[in-house]
Amino acid sequence: MTLIRFAPIPASLPATVPFVGPETLQRQLGQGFAARLGANENGFGPSPKAVKAMQDEAANSWQYGDPTSHDLIGALAAYHGVSAENIVVGEGIDGLLGLLVRLLIAPGDAVATSEGAYPTFNYHVTGYGGVLHKVPYRDDAEDPQALVELAQRTGARLVYLANPDNPMGSWHNGGAILRMLDRLPPESLLVLDEAYAEFAPDDAIPVIAADDPRVIRMRTFSKAYGLAGARIGYAIGHPDLIAGFDRIRNHFGVNRIAQAGALAALADRDWLAHVQREVIKSRARIAGIAQQNGMTALPSATNFVAVDTGRDGVFAADLVKALQGQGVFVRMPGVAPQNRCIRISCAPESKMAILDARLPKALDTLR
- Count, in order, helices (H) and strands (E) of the chain: 13, 12
Residue 19 has pLDDT above 90, yes or no: no
* CA separation for the pair 326, 315 (Å, rounded): 16
- State phi, psi for 189 to the nearest 5 degrees: -115, 125
* CA separation for the pair 311, 316 (Å, rounded): 7
Q: What's the confidence (pLDDT) of residue 42? A: 98
Residue 163 is given by DSSP the state S
Residue 161 is given by DSSP the state E
Do 193 and 161 touch, CB atoms closer than 8 A?
A: yes
**Nearest-CA neighbor of 215 among 177, 243, 248?**
177
Burial class (CB in 10 A: 0-12, 13-18, 19+), 4: exposed
* CA separation for the pair 359, 282 (Å, rounded): 16
Taking only the tens place, the pLDDT of each residue in 237-246 is 999 999 999 9
Going by pLDDT thresholds of 50, 70 and 90, the confidence category of residue 1 is confident
Going by pLDDT thresholds of 50, 70 and 90, the confidence category of residue 83 is very high
Per-domain residue ranges of the chain: 20-44+270-366, 48-267
Q: Of 3.40.640.10, 3.20.20.70, 3.40.30.10, 3.40.50.720, which CATH number belongs to 48-267?
A: 3.40.640.10
Using DSSP bridges, classify how beta strands 304-308 and 341-345 pair: parallel, antiparallel or unpaired.
antiparallel
CATH 1.10.1740.10: does it fit domain 20-44+270-366?
no
Taking only the tens place, the pLDDT of each residue in 112-133 is 999 999 999 999 999 999 999 9
Segment 25-49 shows an average pLDDT of: 96
Helix (H, G, I), strand (E, B) or coil at 209: coil
Other CB atoms within a 10 A radius of the CB of residue 79 amount to 12
Residue 52 has pLDDT above 90, yes or no: yes
